[in-house]
Amino acid sequence: MAKNILDKQRLILCRKKLNITKQEAAKRMQMSQPAYLRYESGDRIPSIHIIQTMASVLGTSVEYLTGESDHELPTSYLVEVTSDPELFYLIDIYKKATLEDQNRFLEYMKGF
């Protein structure tokens, strides 16, 4: 698949995995429902910016939505201190920790 061309089947699959309607997907992506419907049907090709928004909302990566990768997990997360201070603080502590403490933390988290 060409770079930055949305795979509409993957878009639909990701939406369904979240168990949300097309209307809810459009709302979360801050676009009109008709616009979102055109992306899902393949009648409209989104810009890379729109694909990035879709990936963020759907919890996946641009590469997955464009068929460049078969890995569904996001390749990055944006964590801001103003919107998610607890997570930001945890990441900051983790980054400053020794390798031994990081490994202990990861082992602990695998229990969840």
**What domains can you pick out in the chain, each with its CATH number?**
8-65 (1.10.260.40), 79-112 (no CATH)
- Residues 71-93 have pLDDT tens digits of 999 988 888 899 899 999 999 99
pTM for the whole structure: 0.73
Q: Residue 1: what pLDDT?
A: 47
Q: At 24, which amino acid appears?
A: E
